[in-house]
């Protein structure tokens, strides 16, 4: 058994920022499924929002205007008190990262450069070329190492231990040895990321299975707003690698097969810089109505950077150029990029408050695995990197306050019982089994992309729900051929699949029940937003029979009354 005052699960930006904020006062252990610098935070390209007012076009920007854009972008489902917290903290967080050595791109006067992003009234997205997540993650990882945070890299958390309304820690597997280890802590913080890989077409890394979300749910922690899934408008066909919104922020065009900048037809004022949910629906509509391009790798439209010129592309978007050359054999200096919408982000997640605390004593969550809710029904580009670091810092502050106020000692017996349960589960999975976990996951993700995607209908989602229920039954017969535990990724994938099934179940149920269109949730059979009946959060918790129980929670409205969302 390992013991820490505080246990952090997840080595991305949220987990690292929480660890850095706590390690001076407490014994902190950080468990990461991969080496922290391989966390999915590193894939974020475009930037981090903050109303610094450095750009000549953003001199009048403020945290209040940032908050309004965030709330409007959320289609008024964000909790406005939480959005205010995030936007107030934005500028101090960016300057803190700058002072810790993060190499932001600069304006000629030496201040941090800012570019326009969709749904924003001002250019407020701070960036480092198109590798912003990369530089932020390495900056925080270097600080965590310098401060002596105890890191357990390539450890897989198999279960969360909650008993009698308290969290006692987790049971984890050291994938290098295959040993199951109970980890005891007074406070446990999840920064485990999103659930993109429950979809076939996703910009997310393969590690983004949502297992942390499903794990918390199975342990008794409620989930919030799981039906709200963001699709990024521009992912590269074939691989669905992200083509950052920074491309459009720098002036790229979206073109259909008739050479039209088709966004003129839908949102003539915002054009390519409309919010992501709107741009994704516009692209999908163009393809559905025959104005897209056909390709063996899939239907697509063109993202055209050619008019920006080689110098600007190489200075502002070098990573995008390299990805296009390496993965699809085109140079965006000379050819347009074939793009399609792909699942990108999880607005829903573990239900926590503005302090990142759940209803379970001693259990906290932040970043994409959580739902504070600052994004509501649709996240604005540039607010995700901001959320990860802001709420990593806020979680550290909250945990410090709670532990100094006197936290009960975690118990060993519940952890040992949970370890035995995980051991039994592994024994079953490494016994004879007809179902292969990777095939089951592939089938499920194809159904999610096809039937619970950008456009939704009751009929399609009921079919998806039936497939999900069948998949849950089939999971009983899942088996992996090798009993070895050393670096057995098929085994850990099989363990994660159980949690993915629960994530999918709550997502489909929430989408079926919400009979309106709001943000990224668009129902063809209910195309209008309905504030009278649906201005509320969806809460899903596991019932005594193991089935989801759905309830609701009021949206916190402070200063911005809901109104029609126009751009």
Q: Dihedral of CA 48/49/51/56: which sign?
A: positive
User: Phi and psi (nearest 5°) for 152?
Assistant: -110, 90
Q: How high is the pLDDT of residue 407?
A: 79
Q: How high is the pLDDT of residue 242?
A: 96
Which domains are assigned to the chain? Answer: 230-343 (3.90.700.10), 430-554 (1.20.58.100)
Q: How many CA atoms within 13 Å lie on the side-chain side of 145?
A: 10
Spans of the chain, pLDDT less than 50: none
Instruction: Please list, in sequence order, all residues whose beta carbon lies within 8 angstroms of the beta carbon of residue 148, skipping any fewer than 6 positions away.
Output: 23
Q: How high is the pLDDT of residue 435?
A: 92
Measured distance CA(449)–CA(274) in Å, rounded: 23
Measured distance CA(212)–CA(363) in Å, rounded: 12
Q: How high is the pLDDT of residue 405?
A: 81
Measured distance CA(285)–CA(92) in Å, rounded: 40
Measured distance CA(33)–CA(152) in Å, rounded: 9
Measured distance CA(299)–CA(484) in Å, rounded: 42
Kindly report the length of the chain.
Answer: 567
Measured distance CA(515)–CA(235) in Å, rounded: 29
Give how far the C-alpha of residue 308 lies from the chain's centroid of Cα atoms, to the nearest Å: 30
Instruction: Please list, in sequence order, all residues whose beta carbon lies within 8 angstroms of the beta carbon of residue 515, skipping any fewer than 6 positions away.
Output: 523, 525, 526, 530, 533, 534
Query: In terms of C-beta density within 10 A (0-12 exposed, 13-18 middle, 19 or more buried), how is residue 160 classed?
Result: buried
Measured distance CA(418)–CA(424) in Å, rounded: 10
Q: How high is the pLDDT of residue 434?
A: 87
- pTM comes to 0.95
Which helix (H) or strand (E) covers residue 305, if one does? Answer: none
Measured distance CA(42)–CA(360) in Å, rounded: 30
Beta strands in 347-486 (DSSP E): 349-351, 363-365, 370-371
Q: How high is the pLDDT of residue 408?
A: 82
Give how far the C-alpha of residue 516 lies from the chain's centroid of Cα atoms, to the nearest Å: 23
Catalytic residues: 276
Residue 121's nearest CA partner among 460, 512, 567 is 567
Rg (CA), the chain: 22
Q: How high is the pLDDT of residue 277?
A: 95
Q: How high is the pLDDT of residue 87?
A: 98
- pLDDT tens track for 158-214: 999 999 999 999 999 999 999 999 999 999 999 999 999 999 999 999 999 999 999
Measure the CA angle with vertex 399, ends 393 and 401; round to 5°. Answer: 105
State the DSSP string of 328-359.
Answer: HS--TTTSPEEEEEEEEEES-EEE--TTSB-S
């Amino acid at each position: 058994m390992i013991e820490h005052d505080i246990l952090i699960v997840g080595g991305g930006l949220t987990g690292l920022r929480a660890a850095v904020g706590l390690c001076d006062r407490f014994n902190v252990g950080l468990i990461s499924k991969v080496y922290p610098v391989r966390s999915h935070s590193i894939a974020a390209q475009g930037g981090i929002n903050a109303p610094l007012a450095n750009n000549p076009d953003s001199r009048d920007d403020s945290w209040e205007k940032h908050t309004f854009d965030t709330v409007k972008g959320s289609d008024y489902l964000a909790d406005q008190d939480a959005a205010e917290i995030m936007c107030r903290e934005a500028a101090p967080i960016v300057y803190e990262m700058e002072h810790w050595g993060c190499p932001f791109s600069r304006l000629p006067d030496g201040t941090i450069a800012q570019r326009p992003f969709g749904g924003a009234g001002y250019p407020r997205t701070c960036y480092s070329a198109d590798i912003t997540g990369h530089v932020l993650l390495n900056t925080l990882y270097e600080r965590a190492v310098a401060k002596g945070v105890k890191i357990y890299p390539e450890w897989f958390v198999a279960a969360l231990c909650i008993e009698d309304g308290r969290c006692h820690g987790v049971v984890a597997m050291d994938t290098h040895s295959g040993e199951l280890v109970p980890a005891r802590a007074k406070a446990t913080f999840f920064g485990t990321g999103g659930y993109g890989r429950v979809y076939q077409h996703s910009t997310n890394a393969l590690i983004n299975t949502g297992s942390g979300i499903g794990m918390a749910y199975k342990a008794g922690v409620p989930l919030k707003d799981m039906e709200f899934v963001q699709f990024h408008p521009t992912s590269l066909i074939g691989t669905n690698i992200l083509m950052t919104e920074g491309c459009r922020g720098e002036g790229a065009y979206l073109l259909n097969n008739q050479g039209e900048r088709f966004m003129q037809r839908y949102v003539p004022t915002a054009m390519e810089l409309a919010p992501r949910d709107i741009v994704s629906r516009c692209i999908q509509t163009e393809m559905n109505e025959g104005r897209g391009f056909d390709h063996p790798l899939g239907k697509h439209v063109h993202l055209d950077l050619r008019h920006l010129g080689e110098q600007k592309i190489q200075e502002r978007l070098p990573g995008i150029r390299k990805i296009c050359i390496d993965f699809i054999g085109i140079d965006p200096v000379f050819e347009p990029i074939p793009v399609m919408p792909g699942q990108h982000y999880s607005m829903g997640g573990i239900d926590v408050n503005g302090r990142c605390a759940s209803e379970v004593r001693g259990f906290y969550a932040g970043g994409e695995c959580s739902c504070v809710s600052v994004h509501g029904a649709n996240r604005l580009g540039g607010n995700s990197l901001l959320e990860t670091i802001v709420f990593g810092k806020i979680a550290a502050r909250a945990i410090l306050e709670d532990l100094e106020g006197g936290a009960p000692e975690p118990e060993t017996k519940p952890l040992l019982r949970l370890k035995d349960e995980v051991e039994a589960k592994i024994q079953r999975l490494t016994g004879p089994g007809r179902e292969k976990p990777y095939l089951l996951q592939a089938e499920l993700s194809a159904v999610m992309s096809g039937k619970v995607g950008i456009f939704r209908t009751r009929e399609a989602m009921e079919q998806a729900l039936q497939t999900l229920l069948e998949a849950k039954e089939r999971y009983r017969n899942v088996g992996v051929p090798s009993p070895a535990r050393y670096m057995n990724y098929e085994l850990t994938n099989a363990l994660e699949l159980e949690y993915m099934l629960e994530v999918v179940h709550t997502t489909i149920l929430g989408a079926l029940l919400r009979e309106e269109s709001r943000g990224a949730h668009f129902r063809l059979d209910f195309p209008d937003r309905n504030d009278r009946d649906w201005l509320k959060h969806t809460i899903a918790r596991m019932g005594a029979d193991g089935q989801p129980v759905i309830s609701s929670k009021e949206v916190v409205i402070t200063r911005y009354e809901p109104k029609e969302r126009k751009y």
